[in-house]
């Protein structure tokens, strides 16, 4: 199933000069990974402390920067350094922690179901777990959609933009979160199904 992950190579090509510059400056892949998590933490803290339209309008920019940092850490690891076990751990944990930090402030929006937001966080974590567990059975790390990490970032950015522009959440936000949770369930299923097909028989 097609997701935004399919355009990652083109995105990385745009960032390659930045990756070269960071490497020349002695910046490691792990440092970039940690920077992406800190960025999410700062944005989350800002939303909790100042849940204003202006703060929400910063979200799309922060999400774009986070996507760039996520692409850069992988490029630095693969193209300039040997990938390390610590780097793999930081990358996977950083992604799910950053997702939780950025999604949970949606609870502050009046009329939004805390259960749906919590479900979004847990299902996002589960979808990444399904992608990682594929490696345990001999398949490749799975990034199947329809709601992968980049797709979730696009969705969250669009929600923040609409709310930041003063559009009332009314019922559309609850419906959107409900649909997103359903798509995450399908994402988990697709990743596990593809992993099982790819895995070599024992």
Task: Kindly indicate the confidence band of residue 184, based on its pLDDT and cuts at 50, 70 and 90.
Answer: very high
CA 72/CA 56 separation, integer angstroms: 25
Q: Which two tokens stand for residue 4?
A: 């935004």
**DSSP readout, 41-91?**
HHHHHHHHH--SHHHHHHHHHHHHHHHHHHHHHHHHHHHTS---HHHHHHH
Q: Which two tokens stand for residue 111?
A: 């009329």
CA 69/CA 62 separation, integer angstroms: 10
The predicted structure's pLDDT at residue 110: 84
Q: Which of 4-8, 29-33, 37-41, 174-178 has the lowest mean pLDDT?
A: 4-8
In the chain, % of residues over pLDDT 70: 95
Answer whether the bond into residue 146 is a cis peptide, omega within 30°: yes
- pLDDT tens figures, 139-165: 999 999 899 988 999 999 999 999 999
The predicted structure's pLDDT at residue 83: 80
The predicted structure's pLDDT at residue 135: 92
CA 59/CA 201 separation, integer angstroms: 44
Could you tell me if 135 and 191 are in contact, meaning their C-beta atoms sit under 8 angstroms apart? Answer: no
CA 182/CA 202 separation, integer angstroms: 32
* Percent helix / strand / coil, the chain, rounded to 5: 80, 0, 20
CA 31/CA 38 separation, integer angstroms: 10
CA 198/CA 192 separation, integer angstroms: 10
Span 27-51, average pLDDT: 95
**Alpha-carbon torsion angle 39, 42, 44, 45, nearest 10:** 170
Q: Which of 56-70, 79-93, 98-112, 175-189 has the lowest mean pLDDT?
A: 79-93
pTM, to two decimals: 0.89
């Amino acid at each position: 199933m097609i997701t935004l992950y399919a355009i990652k190579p083109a995105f990385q090509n745009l960032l390659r000069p930045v990756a070269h510059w960071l490497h020349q400056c002695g910046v490691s892949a792990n440092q970039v990974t940690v920077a992406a998590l800190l960025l999410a933490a700062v944005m989350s803290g800002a939303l909790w402390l100042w849940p204003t339209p202006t703060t929400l309008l910063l979200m799309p920019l922060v999400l774009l920067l986070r996507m760039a940092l996520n692409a850069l850490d992988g490029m630095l690891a693969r193209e300039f350094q040997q990938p390390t076990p610590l780097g793999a751990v930081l990358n996977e944990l950083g992604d799910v922690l950053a997702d939780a930090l950025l999604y949970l402030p949606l609870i502050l929006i009046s009329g939004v179901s805390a259960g749906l937001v919590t479900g979004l966080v847990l299902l996002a974590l589960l979808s990444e777990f399904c992608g990682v567990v594929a490696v345990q059975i001999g398949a490749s790390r799975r990034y199947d959609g329809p709601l992968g990490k980049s797709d979730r970032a696009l969705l969250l950015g669009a929600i923040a933009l609409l709310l930041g522009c003063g559009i009332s959440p009314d019922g559309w936000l609850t419906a959107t979160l409900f649909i997103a949770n359903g798509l995450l369930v399908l994402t988990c299923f697709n990743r596990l199904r593809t992993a099982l097909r790819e895995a070599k028989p024992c």
